Amino acid sequence: MKHWLLALTFIINLTAASAQDPGAAQDALAERQRILRAADQLELLIRQNARLTEQLATLTERVLKLESAGEELQAQLARQQRDWAADREKLLKEVARLIAAGGKATPPAAPPPPAATRQETGFWYDVQAGQSLWAIADAYQKSGVNVSVNDIRQANNLKDDTLQIGQRLFIPKK
């Protein structure tokens, strides 16, 4: 509401009232102040309502996005549960097959340790975690065995220096 419209109405009423009665002029002035305060409060409420309406629209948009994300998460969970159920069925079928086969699983046979190609003397060594051909050769050299990385590689028919934990190596003694 425009203050100037209220002020103009007030002036017209004040002029008419003051011409008739001085007490009425004071009453009109008090009434004008109440009207102006009410108009200010009304404008404040209108602005607050606009802000709240904007916030409500923002929150509504966020809720819709969250609902959409929740639906997607539920769909993902349902897919994951189906996958788990399928995996469980596979495992149950495998267990049933093993039980039907006498309850004993036959793991794949471990390859025999590589044999020395010549009648060599030497040592058998089981590889432990973190060890390399170089470290093994170095340890044997320090204990008085004359052996190189290449000797170990040839004696065990190794194509590269990759070792597995528990792998059995023949360490030739020269």
Q: Looking at residue 144, which CATH number applies to its domain?
A: 3.10.350.10
Provide mean pLDDT across the span 120-132.
88
98 versus 65: the higher-pLDDT residue is 65
Indicate whether 87 pLDDT > 90: no
Q: Mark which of 73, 107, 141 sits at the end of a domain.
A: 107
Indicate whether 39 pLDDT > 90: no
- CA count, 13 A, side-chain hemisphere, 21: 6
Binned at pLDDT 50, 70 and 90, residue 173 comes out as: confident
Binned at pLDDT 50, 70 and 90, residue 100 comes out as: confident
What pLDDT score does 113 carry?
A: 46
Q: Are residues 93 and 167 in the same domain?
A: no
Taking the C-alpha atoms of residue 168 and residue 131, their distance in angstroms, rounded to an integer, is 12
- The DSSP annotation for 97-164 comes to HHHHTTS---PPPPPPPPPPSSS--EEEEE--TT--HHHHHHHHHHTT----HHHHHHHTT-SSS---
Q: Report CA Rg, the chain.
A: 47
Pairing of strands 168-172, 122-126: antiparallel
Average pLDDT value for the chain = 81
Q: Are residues 92 and 158 in the same domain?
A: no
9 versus 59: the higher-pLDDT residue is 59
Kindly tell me the sign of the dihedral angle through the C-alpha atoms of 54, 59, 62, 68: negative
Query: Is position 51 within any domain?
Result: yes
Query: Is position 114 within any domain?
Result: no
Q: Are residues 34 and 101 in the same domain?
A: yes
What pLDDT score does 45 carry?
A: 93
Q: At 47, give phi and psi (nearest 5°).
A: -65, -45
Range of 126's domain? 122-172
User: What is the number of domains present in the chain?
Assistant: 2
Query: Is position 113 within any domain?
Result: no
